[in-house]
Structure 1
Amino acid sequence: MTELAPILQVSDLTTSFRDGHRWKAVLNNIQFCIYPGETLAIVGESGSGKSVTSLSIMQLLNPRRSRVQGSIKLEGRELTTLNDAQMQQIRANQIAMIFQEPMTSLNPAFSIGEQIAELLQVHRGENQKQAREHTVELLKKVRIPNAASRFDDYPHQFSGGMRQRVMIAMALALSPKLLIADEPTTALDVTIQGQILDLIKTLQQEEGMAVLFITHDMGVVAEVADRTLVMYRGELVETNTTAALFANPKHEYTRMLLNAVPKLGSMTDCAEPLKFPQIDSNGQVQLFSPQPPLPNKKPPLLKVSNLTTRFAIHSGFWSRQTAAVHAVENISFTLTPGETLSLVGESGCGKSTTGRSLMRLVEPLHGEIEFNGYNVCQLSQAELRRMRQDIQFIFQDPFASLNPRMTIEETLIEPLLEHQLASKRDAKKRALELIEQVGLSGDMLKRHPHEFSGGQRQRIAIARALSLNPKLIIADESVSALDVSVKAQVVNLLMDLQQTHNLAYLFISHDMAVVERISHRVAVMYLGEIVEIGPRQAIFSNPQHPYTQKLLAAVPIADPAQRHLKRHLSVDELKSPIRDNNYQPPQRHYRQVSDQHWVMQH
């Protein structure tokens, strides 16, 4: 590989941002190169400079607020001296980038099909029919269900994971020589993640494409990267082949990252949730005891019975309802104070819709929701407002849920002032406590959301959810954007808060290693239905449903020796949740496997 000329060569890259009247360096003398067909992974904590590195390469930083120094060469051509028009041609045909948050890249005013087809028409000269056919093929490639019929759908009609798949299809449309992937699988469940990683590998083999892979998932790093570059506070602290780095990390920070990696199956003999190992100031691993067991006879805080949520599909001249998306179909479960129930399943299976239905952010079709003495389905708007003080929602996409015009302090004090729970002075004190609880500093309160990395924005969203001292938190992929060390800290924080305040969590996640750590019980969803539910230990040690077994088999392993092993995952088209008006759901039957462990008969 070293005999080849590098596709990308970065030398002495220093990027600074304007801070008042002075420049503050956020990258210091970074240098690396990538060869054809190679994957280089960049890992490090949120705010370490990973994304700034990629934006510097793409020349996407605001020239009025930033300064890029050093050399960035693409196939020997210096990029830092190119004008906007020249860089646009480079970005269109030679470098593609998959961004961390798809809603910042997709135009909400255009359908996803139009946005991909436009690339093909402008840069490949395809006519409208050719571009549409090509776009549908790309959507199929990244396993968008019913690709042809979803060409005209808008970004808001897709789940977070499916929006990420659209972004991947868009990035691959023009067959770039270099693909910069900034957390491309963050929002994807493990089965789709495995297939997307296989797809990127296949494209590398076919076209000699190089990949710069930015991620916090060390399992993904072990699986895809030829070499790994570790960054800490804007500096390159270690680089090596991935196998050598995992086997013998030299830098203390690299050792800390690897020690913080959750390992699936590590809790086989542990009946209760267990906090992640914490790294102390000396770099030593601090282990914790399991959480105390829940009392056996606790009345449920939340009781859900036969919950069904569907979304109407209108078509024809009169825009009549012709079909419906069966997002959540006849599910039931309970949740007690101090308990964590995790919902797992593929993107689009109904996990997020379930959480939103519980708060009536979307209206259920039928079913019963009892929460803390409330009959949620029958509440007036004023009663709903009072009820929502006790349920808080941590949304999947922090950029979409944080007001870009408000400072972080204003974001954190707004719920307290709106519900008249504190004076402005006390609310500001509370905001400082909250921001420090989630691992950020008080001097960040005056900043706006766009001044934070994706992981930092996720922590701010968690702080806001804690502001009203709720009884139940619905956490929708709340740690998906966090690197492993911060993820461990935030999950441990959530578990500490649960013990202190007797909080209940509905934890929606695709990260099975985190689910194994934090959960008392696990419910597996597929096409809007719960196919298996039971105690965490039973689900992970004795999965009964084929879909549960498939999810567990797809989890990446943080071991470079496993890199070339094939998972043999099914690549069949995902079934559609869309049904016509005459469809009658079949009567489902469940079999009891053990105490509280139930599986749908398949």
Structure 2
Amino acid sequence: MTVTTRTPSAPVPRASVPRASAPQESTQPTAVPPAPSGSLLRVRGLRVAYRDHEVVHGVDLDVRPGEVVALVGESGSGKSTTAHALIGLLPDGGHVTSGEVTLGAGPRPTPLSGLLPDAWRRVRGVRVGFVPQDPGTALDPVVRVGEQVAEALVVHGTPRRAARERAVGILRDVGLDRPAERARQYPHQLSGGMRQRVLVGIAMACEPELVIADEPTSALDVTVQRRVLDLLGDLTSRAGTAVLLITHDLAVAADRADRVVVLKDGLVVEEGSAARVLGSPEHPYTRELVAATPGRTTLDRNTVPSASAEAPVTTAVTSGPATTTDRASAPGAAGSDTTPQPVLLSARGLVKEFRLGRRDRLRAVDDVSFAVPRGSAFALVGESGSGKSTTARLVLGLERPDAGVVELDGVPVGDDRATRRRTQLVHQDPYSSLDPRFTVAAVVEEPLRAHRVGDRAERRDRVAHLLEQVHLAPDLARRRPAELSGGQRQRVAIARALALDPELLVLDEPTSALDVSVQARVLDLLARLRAERSLTYLFISHDLAVVRQIADHVGVMSDGRLVETGPVGQVFDHPTHPYTAELIAAIPGARPTAHLDPKDLT
């Protein structure tokens, strides 16, 4: 398989990096190619510090008009800090210590370093759009979605009535169903993916020269991800808008970027065309990132199997006997024995409706039934808004079904302490689920205190062990959530969920905020914990490659209903429903790991 990249409307010279004779075990960057001429965004020697600690060390970066440049690297590598520094949005304590940033491809570009607030207001939104990483905190919870989109137009001169009408069109453009209804809703009434699309619409409302997108697709399912990326691509080709794409998804970078810049510990270690960097990486760190990408070659959209009504499906989704002998044939399944396993989680006929207005109601979950054997992993996949997360909340007793029943070991699930101890949730949005006043240690210890587990010393030791399990350094225990990267916050949330040794772990997009190397470690951790403790997983995800790796069985949801279920390998390789085939077809077609044998990597 070859890596394909998007071709911009105007030819963009590809920078090249001299091939090294052999990768060296070194943290030194490879030779960085010269900057392309006519840059729209030009960054030289950017250094950023939080208080007295420097985290970005002399970054050079160029983005030409109409070009898509992907900035990739692990969480904590400085990607988001660099993006925030470019447009003057560093948090308290963060400041640019040196460097030059200019915007504009003409002979007199606009310097962005040291702009005053009034000057920034003439740049942000009009000339530079920004898509933040965390939709849960970027949207005002007490203002309707349509008003927030319209505000982006009003502050730059559009009459309010015209802005409200245009806001509905923008919501339609970014793929929201029933945009007029969605415009009247509040952010908490939308799924995580829907909120992310609203942010993309706000950033693109004024058709800026440059869009800085900080993980714009991390919360999106593959079909919506494709629409959003297509929308960004249409903007670049139509208006010559450039995109600086901050992402941990190397498949997205390979599929959409013209050039890739790899950042490690605040340093650029490799740069070049997307095909060269991701197809033939030279720096050991880049090779690690590529090797850690989940193996998804069987889900290549160039070889997508068509839906067939004749393909047999053995399903674990049933309201019948409380045992099953079926095991997943996909890689990563937890064993292949045929010993009947007792069902731990059973859901039958679940229905949940939400009121949208005085008369309208939305049926978010519509007659959903499934059973999950003890020690197995069952995944729910589908577009954002399909009912996956609502089903998870019904399973945990956080929402009451309008019809149907959820049972744990044959006992109806309730909103009580016993259920809380046996079941735990890892939220999709780690920032809003962590108390910003608590340190990391206090966040992880909280469920232990609430259930009176151990004394102070035992809880302290337990917290340290949990942080080690999710690969967080001990010194992070004293930090607060705002001082962590998105991936680090998600690992804290996983550690907290494991604190009480639950039987059932409900994971709602647990890896969507993680870069590929940390994602690989977390998935390995989840697989090991499942084997050692007989944990049972209900896994909610839009990443089909992750589902193939972690789950035994999968259920595909569309408009609140389960449209297809069965073993992961069977459903993904031989989908019987057209919607399932559409999900698989939407996966970015080029997988950067196709060229590399992990055994050959250092």
Which region of structure 1 is more displaced relative to structure 2, 214-223 or 59-68?
A: 59-68
1:550 — aligned with what? 582
2:350 to 287, 307, 327: 307
2:340 to 294, 297, 302: 297
2:539 to 477, 490, 507: 507
2:435 to 386, 395, 403: 403
2:226 — aligned with what? 194
1:462 — aligned with what? 494
Partners of 2:150 and 2:137 in 1: CA distance: 19
CA contact (8 A) 2:299 2:587 kept: no
1:104 and 2:141 matched: no
Partners of 2:211 and 2:576 in 1: CA distance: 39
1:249-328 equivalence runs, <5 A: 249-266=281-298, 272=329, 274-275=331-332, 291-315=334-358, 322-328=359-365
CA contact (8 A) 1:273 1:518 kept: no
- In structure 2, the CA distance between the partners of 1:164 and 1:62, relative to structure 1 (3 Å rule), is closer
Partners of 1:126 and 1:90 in 2: CA distance: 16
SS at match of 1:300: strand
SS at match of 2:122: helix
% identical equivalent positions: 42
Which region of structure 1 is more displaced relative to structure 2, 552-561 or 366-375?
A: 552-561
Partners of 2:277 and 2:406 in 1: CA distance: 50
**Relative contact order (alpha carbons < 8 A, sep ≥ 6): 1 or 2 greater?**
2
- In structure 2, the CA distance between the partners of 1:529 and 1:366, relative to structure 1 (3 Å rule), is same
SS at match of 2:449: helix
- In structure 2, the CA distance between the partners of 1:89 and 1:547, relative to structure 1 (3 Å rule), is same
1:227-238 equivalence runs, <5 A: 227-238=259-270
Which region of structure 1 is more displaced relative to structure 2, 107-116 or 35-44?
A: 107-116
Q: Give per-residue Cα distances to partners, 1:102-121, cap 9 Å, x unaligned.
A: 12211111111111112212
2:395 to 346, 352, 358: 358
Following superposition, the deviation at residue 24 of structure 1 comes to 1.1
- In structure 2, the CA distance between the partners of 1:457 and 1:64, relative to structure 1 (3 Å rule), is closer
Partners of 1:163 and 1:209 in 2: CA distance: 23
Partners of 1:524 and 1:326 in 2: CA distance: 17
1:519 and 2:557 matched: no
1:27 and 2:60 matched: no
Following superposition, the deviation at residue 244 of structure 1 comes to 1.3
One-letter amino acid of the counterpart of residue 352, structure 2: T
1:118 and 2:151 matched: yes
CA contact (8 A) 1:223 1:560 kept: no
Which region of structure 1 is more displaced relative to structure 2, 458-467 or 3-12?
A: 3-12
1:145 — aligned with what? 177
Following superposition, the deviation at residue 122 of structure 1 comes to 2.0
Following superposition, the deviation at residue 541 of structure 1 comes to 1.6
CA contact (8 A) 2:430 2:493 kept: yes
2:425 to 393, 399, 412: 393
- In structure 2, the CA distance between the partners of 1:218 and 1:267, relative to structure 1 (3 Å rule), is closer
1:539 and 2:539 matched: no
1:154-169 equivalence runs, <5 A: 154-169=186-201
Following superposition, the deviation at residue 61 of structure 1 comes to 1.3
One-letter amino acid of the counterpart of residue 113, structure 1: G
SS at match of 1:388: helix
1:39 and 2:50 matched: no
1:286 — aligned with what? none
2:17 — aligned with what? none
SS at match of 1:349: coil
Following superposition, the deviation at residue 273 of structure 1 comes to 5.3
Partners of 1:247 and 1:454 in 2: CA distance: 27
2:407 — aligned with what? 370
CA contact (8 A) 1:120 1:126 kept: yes
Q: Give per-residue Cα distances to partners, 1:363-412, cap 9 Å, x unaligned.
A: 11011111024212xx4x5xx22111010000100011000011111111
Following superposition, the deviation at residue 152 of structure 1 comes to 1.7
1:285 — aligned with what? none
- In structure 2, the CA distance between the partners of 1:63 and 1:267, relative to structure 1 (3 Å rule), is closer
Partners of 1:559 and 1:386 in 2: CA distance: 44
SS at match of 2:356: strand
CA contact (8 A) 1:294 1:339 kept: no
1:17 and 2:60 matched: no
CA contact (8 A) 2:291 2:593 kept: no
- In structure 2, the CA distance between the partners of 1:411 and 1:559, relative to structure 1 (3 Å rule), is closer
One-letter amino acid of the counterpart of residue 270, structure 2: E
2:19 — aligned with what? none
Partners of 2:86 and 2:516 in 1: CA distance: 25
Partners of 2:353 and 2:335 in 1: CA distance: 39
One-letter amino acid of the counterpart of residue 382, structure 2: G
Q: Which runs of 5+ in 2 are unaligned?
A: 1-11, 14-35, 301-326, 595-602
SS at match of 1:150: helix
1:6 and 2:57 matched: no
SS at match of 2:354: strand
SS at match of 2:514: coil
Where do 4+ consecutive residues of structure 1 move more than 6 Å?
Answer: none
Q: Give per-residue Cα distances to partners, 1:49-71, cap 9 Å, x unaligned.
A: 00000001011114654333111
Partners of 1:126 and 1:525 in 2: CA distance: 40
One-letter amino acid of the counterpart of residue 196, structure 1: V
SS at match of 1:299: strand
1:50 — aligned with what? 79
One-letter amino acid of the counterpart of residue 323, structure 1: D
Q: Give per-residue Cα distances to partners, 1:71-116, cap 9 Å, x unaligned.
A: 1111222211311211121113111110111122111111111111
Partners of 1:155 and 1:25 in 2: CA distance: 35
Which region of structure 1 is more displaced relative to structure 2, 101-110 or 166-175?
A: 101-110
1:578-593 equivalence runs, <5 A: none
CA contact (8 A) 1:223 1:556 kept: yes
CA contact (8 A) 1:56 1:68 kept: no
SS at match of 2:466: helix
- In structure 2, the CA distance between the partners of 1:64 and 1:465, relative to structure 1 (3 Å rule), is closer
2:5 — aligned with what? none
Partners of 2:125 and 2:483 in 1: CA distance: 27
Q: How many residues align?
A: 531
Partners of 1:499 and 1:561 in 2: CA distance: 27
2:246 to 211, 214, 223: 214
CA contact (8 A) 1:338 1:502 kept: yes
CA contact (8 A) 1:41 1:214 kept: yes
Q: Which runs of 5+ in 1 are unaligned?
A: 276-289, 316-321, 563-602
SS at match of 2:98: strand
1:347 and 2:384 matched: yes
One-letter amino acid of the counterpart of residue 355, structure 1: A
SS at match of 2:554: strand
Following superposition, the deviation at residue 271 of structure 1 comes to 5.2
Partners of 1:267 and 1:106 in 2: CA distance: 34
Task: Name the Cα RMSD after superposition.
Answer: 1.8
1:80 and 2:113 matched: yes
Following superposition, the deviation at residue 265 of structure 1 comes to 4.7
1:448 — aligned with what? 480
CA contact (8 A) 2:394 2:406 kept: no
Partners of 1:561 and 1:339 in 2: CA distance: 28
